[in-house]
Structure 1
Amino acid sequence: MKLQSIAIQEFKQFTGRLVIDDLQPGLNLFTGPNEAGKSTVAEAVRAVFLERYKASHLKDLLPWGKASGQPSVEVSFELDGAQCRLSKQFVTRQRCELKIGQAVFGEDEAEDKLAALLGFSRAARGPLKAENAGVPGLLWVQQGGTHEVRDSTGHAAQYLRDALSQLSGGSESAGEDALIAAVQRELRQLLTARTQKSTGPLAEAETTLAALIAERDELEQQRQQFDENITRLASQQQAYDDTQRKRPWELHEQKAVLAQQRADAAAELERSVQGLAQSLQVSEAELALSLQQEQGAAELEAAVARERQQLDAARANVAAAQTEHAQAASGVAQFEQASVDASRALELANAAVTAADLRSQIGFYRTESERLEAAIAAAGKANDALLEAAREAAAVEVDEAKLKRLAALNGELTVLRARTEAAMTRIEYRLNGALTVDGAPVTGEGVLRVDDEKLIGLGDLGELRVIPGVSDLSAQLSELASLEARHAQLLQALGVASLGEAEARYEQWKTLTAQQKSQAKILDVHAPQGIDALRAALASAAARLQASNDRLAGLPDVSAAAPLDAARRNAEIARDALEAARKVLAQAAEKRSTGIATAESLAAQLQRKEAQLSDEAYCRNRAQWQTKIVEQRVQVDALRRQREGRERELEAVRLDDPAAEAKRYRASAELARNEQHERQVRIAHLRSQLETIGASGLGERLAALDAQVEQATRRKDELSLRASALSLLDEVLVDERDAAVAQLRAPLTERLGHYLKRIFPQSTIALSDDLSPATLDRHGRADTLDALSFGTREQLGILTRLAYADLLKASGRPTLLMLDDAAVHTDAARRDAIKRALIDAATRHQILVFTCHPELWDDLGVRQRAIEDLKVAA
């Protein structure tokens, strides 16, 4: 089957009519951004072939914002060499017509014929379900559904099996399937299908056996525990009696009392050592204070001698600094006069340079004023021409968008008038007498067009009632009236009487617009920023010329001026020399001031320190603290020896740590008492357990359970043997069946391999019972479809659909592939392989590819058809 044209009218976002013709028998590529209408075109094709024309759920097909529309789709196609046409109208005035060659089918008969030809089943009611879509549901891929190949293959499985049976001459369904199903039903009563776990009677037998064994093991454990408890009770009773006789906790308590007495004596000795340490610390602090006072007096005597020498040196430095300051002041006066003379010469040289610059500026401004005057004159002339062209263009301007719509409407009107004229009943008459048509007399000759029911009176002969034979003539007339009204409205909006007049005015407007642009370029050359800017520039140049003349007249006589570089160099030399002399003077002044301040400070400090040393009170105090130092040293030595003796005594006492010994003995006594009490509690508990177990009949219960375990084991072994036999039989039957099925599926396997090697070399794909891809085997590793990445599943979805199409084509069934944004998640390398596969498949099938990425598909070697261009052409 090859689509030749698609006509869509008032369908979702297509509020008007969209015609797609000249469809190629191979690849057809449609492009456009999101919401341009690509998926709407694909949905229209699905609707015209698959949806029931009388379905009440299709109100979403109504054009956007037009609740009273009449969605319709018409397709022309070739089928087995016969020309076919299918048209459906939905929601309002529902109709369906299928024409195959000369045969015409209508309404339900047409839809039944379509289902038989394309390989799908009609939904009894409501929308088309996935399970009814059959072959179209497999080959017509909706946006975002490329990777979902398993369900669509399952819904088309019966049609694929029929094709395989036709190609191989065999049948996939045979008697062995019924036998396998019976064996598997019996097996499933004992083992699960996927995990082979026990179920039904076998699981119950295993559960019963496990519960009996667990109960028996628990009783065995209880009996073993009973024997162990008897032995443990005897051992615990003997240990209790021995400990009660020896009473070890009393000995530990006596040792704890003695150790505590030694610990109290050690604590008293430690307090004595701390008291001696505090007394020694006080005495050492008093001795340190006295030594510090004596050291300060010695340091004061040394400082007085040192500062006498520093004062003599400072006074000598002051005399030398005063001499240097007088010499530096004399040099500064000389360099100041030289600097003043050099500055005057530099000012005269600068004035000479300024005069030369002003003469040059005066010449430039005169030339610029002349140029600006010429440019203003030329720009004024161009501006006048520009305004005249603009006025003429505005008088004949035509809206280009409205002109295009007028041309499109004119074409539609021509076609629709011809169709209406052809559909309308024509009566040519040549009368000798008079007739009446709807009561109006008609004579002579002419043509009577019957666009609705008319009554023709024949006088005495009676009357004729003429009814048009075309059922949709009134709809065509209504559409013609609507188009003529829109055509007249556009002519009125453009202010013309015909399309030819509008096109002539449009050409005149384009010529005037070109002249306007040419004059604008001339104006831009002379006045890029406007004539006012040129006039402002002329006024500025004149003002600057006058200012330059005024400045030149105000300069002094510069005939005797030296060259500027020499004058500048002399001024810099004089300025540097003066700066250096001033720095020397400042350094000499600072040195003199510093020397005087230092000498005065040293004299004052020396006077204060000498007065302090000669003070009588200071001399008496110094003699007292020197005597006190000797006494304090004797006291410190005595306290240090006494403390060291007590510390040795304390260290000897601490060696055996009597406090820790007392604590250890008390803890040992407590532990011995607690252990004896716990032993008594354990003896009572063991006696209680033994009495309880001994009265429960443990031996008789164990014997009964052994018999039950043996019986349950035989039951479980019988069911396990049956499950093993059924599993073996199922495996043998399935292997035999799979060998026959593999031969039957050889044509499909061969086509899958043909496409698969383009992306996955040296790989195979396994099929499930419904002929959908199950696993992909690459390099010895088999991955299920769910384990593959989204992009890989998308690529497998495209390749497997091409293989299914080859299979259906070989069996003589119609094939058409539609891929709506089918390779969005595919990288560049694999996309190239997909393209090669599509080009190969396009030699056998017609393929419609819709994409919003035209730049990724521009190397297919086929023309890209933009949906936006198709809508404009409509």
Structure 2
Amino acid sequence: MKLQSIAIQEFKQFTGRLVIDDLQPGLNLFVGPNEAGKSTIAEAVRAVFLERYKASHLKDLLPWGRASGQPSVEVSFDLDGAACRLSKQFVTRQRCELKIGQAVFGEDEAEDKLAALLGFSRAARGPLKAENAGVPGLLWVQQGGTQDMRDSTGHAAQYLRDALSQLSGSRESAGEDALIAAVQRELRQLLTARTQKSTGPLAQAESALAALIVERDELNRQREQFEENIARLATQQEAFDDTERKRPWELHAQKAALAQQRADAAAELERSVEGLAQALEVNEAQLALSVQQEQAAVDLESAVARERQQLDAARANLAAADTEHAQAASRVTQFEQAFADANRALELANAAVSAADLRSQIGLYRAELERLEAAIGAASEANEALLDAARGAASLEIDETKLKRLASLDAELTVLRARTEAAMTRIEYRLNGAITVGDAAISGEGVLRLDEEKSIGLGELGELRVIPGVSDLSARLSELASLDAQHARLLQMLGVTSLGEGELRHEQWKALVAQQKSHAKVRDAHAPQGIDALRAALASAAARWQSANERLASLPDVSAALPLDEARRSADIARDALESARKMLDEAVGKRSTGMATTESLALQVQRKDAQLNDAAFCRNRAQWQAKLVEQRVQVEALTKQREGRARELEAARLDDPAAEATRYRASAELAREEQRERKMRITQLRSQLETVGASGLGERLAALDAQVEQATRRQDELSLRAGALSLLDEVLVDERDAALAQLRAPLTERLGHYLKRIFPQSTIALGDDLSPATLDRHGRADTLDALSFGTREQLGILTRLAYADLLKASGRPTLLMLDDAAVHTDAARRDAIKRALIDAATRHQILVFTCHPELWDDLGVRQRAIDDIKAAA
């Protein structure tokens, strides 16, 4: 199917009539910005082919901003060589007409015919649903829907299968699917589809059997428990009687009392050890204080002796520092005088260099003055010549445009005069007498040119009437007169008598203008910034020359000056020597100050510590703590021996931990009593349970349950056998159908591979039962469509639709592809591959591509049709 033209009127944003004609049989590219109307055109094509013309839900097709209107769409197309036309009007005055060749179909008949031809189904009522869209829903991609393939392919699956059956010659019967569906319905009543778990009657039978088995197991457990309880009752009664005879808790209580007595004695011994430890701690502290005081006195005596030695050394260092300071001060004075002499010599050397520079500058300034004076003279002369040429050019200037017009008129007049003279009647005469031409008498020889009707009198012979043979001579004469008048006015306006005089004057004017330019170049060469700038520069140069002379005169006599480099070296040497001497002086000053501070500090410290050692109170206190030291040492040794003896006794008493022994025996006695009480309670409970179970008829209940379990097992086995048979039948039928489907898919798989290799080389695509793409296998890894990126799914959506169109075309079905803003999420390399695929497919199908990115599609080799241009043409 090939669209020839599309006419849209009062349809959404198109309030008027929009006509798109000259559609190409292959690729058609429509471009425009967002909201230009691309998607509206695609929607109009879908509406005219797919929507029911009488549908009440299509009020959104009304033109924007208008509550009333008559949306209509008309398309002309070619179908298998037959010219077809389809027109529909929606909302108001609904109508539908389909013309195929000479056959005309109207209303519902036309829509049924369209559905049969294009491969879709009509909705019973309401808007067109996705499941009704069929082949157009698959091939006509709406904006943003390129990547959605599964639903659209599923809705077109039956049409694709019919086409594949026709191509492959396979037999795929709808009856086989019906039989499989029936078997699977029966199987699903017993087993679930995905997990094959039991359901329905089978699950109920299994549940009932499991419940009976649980109940039977519980009764068996109760019977075993009954027998165990009888044995336990005998054992518990024997243990209770034996314990009552032995009464072990009384023996544990006696042991606990003895252990408590030992624990009390150990506690008293521990308190005694703690008292001795506290007394020893106090005495040791007093002894440590006395030792510390005596050691402080000894340390003070040692410090005084050590600091006296340090004081003697500091005084010797101070004397040496005084000598070094005096020598450094003398050297600084000597080097300061040498540095001053070197600086004066350097200043004289710098003055000599300045004098040489000034003499050189004076020579340069004198040369500059001479150059500027010469340039001013030459520039002034050129400027005068320029002014003379300008005055001459002003007097000769002529309007070049009017002169060109005069030349054009002169040429036209020349041609027109020649044509007019050629058109006049020309009479050459040689007369012996006289004749009259009009009112004038003519005689002798000559030539007459007659531009109008004239009478020639021949005397007695009569007269001749001469009528020019050219019919438009009067018009030419009128045109000649008009041009003559224009020519005269131009001569007057230009102030010349002829064209030659005007051209001569113009040439003279051009020569003077050229002279102006030449003189201006000469003037600008000498005075690029003007003569006044030269005069200012001359004044500036004169001032600088005078200033340099004055500065030279102010300099001192430099005849005895040293060379500048030698003077600088001498000054640097003197400065370095002075800096070195000053550093040595600073170091000597620092040493002297440090020595004085150290000596004074040490003298004060020795004096203070001597006074402390010789103090009378300090001497008395020292004698007292020296006397106490012996007494305190003896007392500490006695307390230490006593505490160690008591500690050994305490350790022996604690060896078996009598307190823990007492606690253990008391706990053992209580546990023995509690265990006997619990044993008595268990005996009572066991007797009660045995009496209850013995009266419940446990054996009869267990026999009845065994019979029920056997019956339920037979029911489960029957249902399991039925489920297995149905499952086996389902596998056989599905395998047969899959084999038929594999043969059916072969043409489609071949076309998919043809397009797929353009973007995904060395890859394959697997199809589902509904012939939609299921997985993409690349380099041994299979990815489902949902696992792929949005852009990859979009690219697969375009390529698979081209493959579907190929197989529909091969089976004789009409095809038309519409892509609204497809390949938006595609990089440049893959977009080029998609373009090549579209160009390939366009040799077999008509493709309408709508895009808002014309720069990305300008290399398809087809004309881009701008929506704005189409609307403007309408």
TM-score under structure 1 normalisation? 0.70
1:779 Cα offset (Å): 8.8
2:261 alignment counterpart:
261
Query: CA–CA distance in 1 between the matches of 2:346 and 2:318?
Result: 42
Q: Would the aligned equivalents of 1:766 and 1:776 in 2 still touch at CA under 8 Å?
A: no
1:527 alignment counterpart:
none
Q: Is 1:637 aligned with 2:627?
A: no
Q: Residue type of the partner of 2:261?
A: Q
1:16 Cα offset (Å): 6.7
Matches within 5 A, 1:769-848: 770-773=770-773, 793-824=793-824, 834-848=834-848
2:443 alignment counterpart:
none
Which sits farther off after the overlay, 234-243 or 749-758?
749-758
Q: Residue type of the partner of 1:623?
A: A
Q: Would the aligned equivalents of 1:763 and 1:779 in 2 still touch at CA under 8 Å?
A: no
1:674 alignment counterpart:
674
What SS is found at the alignment partner of 2:60?
helix
Query: CA–CA distance in 2 between the matches of 1:137 and 1:684?
Result: 84
Query: CA–CA distance in 2 between the matches of 1:862 and 1:246?
Result: 116
Matches within 5 A, 1:343-742: 343=343, 557-558=554-555, 569-736=569-736, 739=739
1:274 Cα offset (Å): 1.8
Query: CA–CA distance in 1 between the matches of 2:3 and 2:590?
Result: 109
CA offset digits 1:314-340 (Å, max 9, x no partner): 333333322322232233233334444
CA offset digits 1:264-284 (Å, max 9, x no partner): 211222222222222222222
Query: CA–CA distance in 1 between the matches of 2:148 and 2:813?
Result: 23
Q: Would the aligned equivalents of 2:765 and 2:774 in 1 still touch at CA under 8 Å?
A: no
Query: CA–CA distance in 2 between the matches of 1:267 and 1:667?
Result: 21
Matches within 5 A, 1:80-229: 80-88=80-88, 90-91=90-91, 98-101=98-101, 110-164=110-164, 166-167=166-167, 172-173=172-173, 179-180=179-180, 182-229=182-229
Q: 1:661–1:33: structure 2 CA closer, same or farther, 3 Å change rule? A: farther
Q: Would the aligned equivalents of 1:351 and 1:555 in 2 still touch at CA under 8 Å?
A: no
Q: Would the aligned equivalents of 1:349 and 1:558 in 2 still touch at CA under 8 Å?
A: no
Which sits farther off after the overlay, 201-210 or 126-135?
201-210
Q: Residue type of the partner of 2:817?
A: L
Q: Would the aligned equivalents of 1:186 and 1:726 in 2 still touch at CA under 8 Å?
A: yes
2:416 alignment counterpart:
none
Query: CA–CA distance in 1 between the matches of 2:574 and 2:791?
Result: 86
Q: Residue type of the partner of 1:144?
A: G
2:240 alignment counterpart:
240
2:51 alignment counterpart:
51
Which sits farther off after the overlay, 665-674 or 156-165?
156-165
1:668 Cα offset (Å): 1.9
Query: CA–CA distance in 2 between the matches of 1:108 and 1:855?
Result: 44
CA offset digits 1:515-574 (Å, max 9, x no partner): xxxxxxxxxxxxxxxxxxx9xx99x99999999899979968346566766655554444
Q: Residue type of the partner of 1:116?
A: A
Query: CA–CA distance in 2 between the matches of 1:132 and 1:853?
Result: 32
Query: CA–CA distance in 2 between the matches of 1:785 and 1:188?
Result: 29
1:591 Cα offset (Å): 2.4
Q: Would the aligned equivalents of 1:5 and 1:22 in 2 still touch at CA under 8 Å?
A: yes
1:448 alignment counterpart:
none
What SS is found at the alignment partner of 1:145?
coil
1:765 alignment counterpart:
766
CA offset digits 1:695-751 (Å, max 9, x no partner): 211111111111122222222323333333344444444545555565566544554
1:584 Cα offset (Å): 2.2
Query: CA–CA distance in 2 between the matches of 1:140 and 1:834?
Result: 17
Q: Residue type of the partner of 2:766?
A: I
Query: CA–CA distance in 2 between the matches of 1:566 and 1:869?
Result: 90
Q: Would the aligned equivalents of 2:97 and 2:110 in 1 still touch at CA under 8 Å?
A: yes
Query: CA–CA distance in 2 between the matches of 1:290 and 1:778?
Result: 95
2:26 alignment counterpart:
26
What SS is found at the alignment partner of 2:3?
strand
What SS is found at the alignment partner of 2:817?
strand
Query: CA–CA distance in 2 between the matches of 1:354 and 1:668?
Result: 122
Query: CA–CA distance in 2 between the matches of 1:186 and 1:364?
Result: 124
Q: Residue type of the partner of 1:718?
A: E
What SS is found at the alignment partner of 1:121?
coil
CA offset digits 1:788-844 (Å, max 9, x no partner): 665665455444433332232123221011233444556777666655544443322
Query: CA–CA distance in 2 between the matches of 1:265 and 1:551?
Result: 124
Query: CA–CA distance in 2 between the matches of 1:611 and 1:751?
Result: 119
Q: 1:315–1:184: structure 2 CA closer, same or farther, 3 Å change rule? A: closer
1:166 Cα offset (Å): 4.5
Query: Any stretches of 5+ residues in structure 1 without a counterpart?
Result: 378-533
1:71 Cα offset (Å): 5.0
Q: Would the aligned equivalents of 1:191 and 1:197 in 2 still touch at CA under 8 Å?
A: yes
Query: CA–CA distance in 1 between the matches of 2:88 and 2:247?
Result: 112
Q: Residue type of the partner of 2:578?
A: L
1:25 Cα offset (Å): 2.6
Q: Residue type of the partner of 2:218?
A: E
Query: CA–CA distance in 1 between the matches of 2:598 and 2:772?
Result: 109
Query: CA–CA distance in 2 between the matches of 1:704 and 1:13?
Result: 83
Q: Would the aligned equivalents of 2:775 and 2:783 in 1 still touch at CA under 8 Å?
A: yes
1:216 Cα offset (Å): 1.3
Q: Would the aligned equivalents of 2:170 and 2:740 in 1 still touch at CA under 8 Å?
A: no
2:473 alignment counterpart:
none
Q: 1:60–1:303: structure 2 CA closer, same or farther, 3 Å change rule? A: same
Q: Is 1:849 aligned with 2:849?
A: yes
What SS is found at the alignment partner of 2:766?
strand
Instruction: Compare CA radii of gyration and give the structure with the larger one.
Output: 2
1:103 Cα offset (Å): 5.6
1:137 Cα offset (Å): 0.6
Query: How many correspondences in the alignment?
Result: 711
TM-score under structure 2 normalisation? 0.70
1:294 alignment counterpart:
294
What SS is found at the alignment partner of 1:144?
coil
Which sits farther off after the overlay, 556-565 or 576-585?
556-565
Query: CA–CA distance in 1 between the matches of 2:70 and 2:352?
Result: 95
Q: 1:24–1:351: structure 2 CA closer, same or farther, 3 Å change rule? A: farther
1:479 alignment counterpart:
none
Query: CA–CA distance in 1 between the matches of 2:797 and 2:825?
Result: 12
What SS is found at the alignment partner of 2:677?
helix
Q: Residue type of the partner of 1:332?
A: V
Q: 1:851–1:271: structure 2 CA closer, same or farther, 3 Å change rule? A: farther
Q: Would the aligned equivalents of 2:263 and 2:659 in 1 still touch at CA under 8 Å?
A: yes
What SS is found at the alignment partner of 1:849?
strand
What SS is found at the alignment partner of 1:3?
strand
Query: CA–CA distance in 2 between the matches of 1:43 and 1:619?
Result: 122
Query: CA–CA distance in 2 between the matches of 1:604 and 1:62?
Result: 115
Query: CA–CA distance in 1 between the matches of 2:325 and 2:744?
Result: 125
Matches within 5 A, 1:330-345: 330-343=330-343
Q: Would the aligned equivalents of 1:85 and 1:100 in 2 still touch at CA under 8 Å?
A: yes
What SS is found at the alignment partner of 1:126?
coil
Q: 1:833–1:706: structure 2 CA closer, same or farther, 3 Å change rule? A: farther
Q: Would the aligned equivalents of 2:212 and 2:709 in 1 still touch at CA under 8 Å?
A: yes
2:2 alignment counterpart:
2
Query: CA–CA distance in 1 between the matches of 2:585 and 2:727?
Result: 121
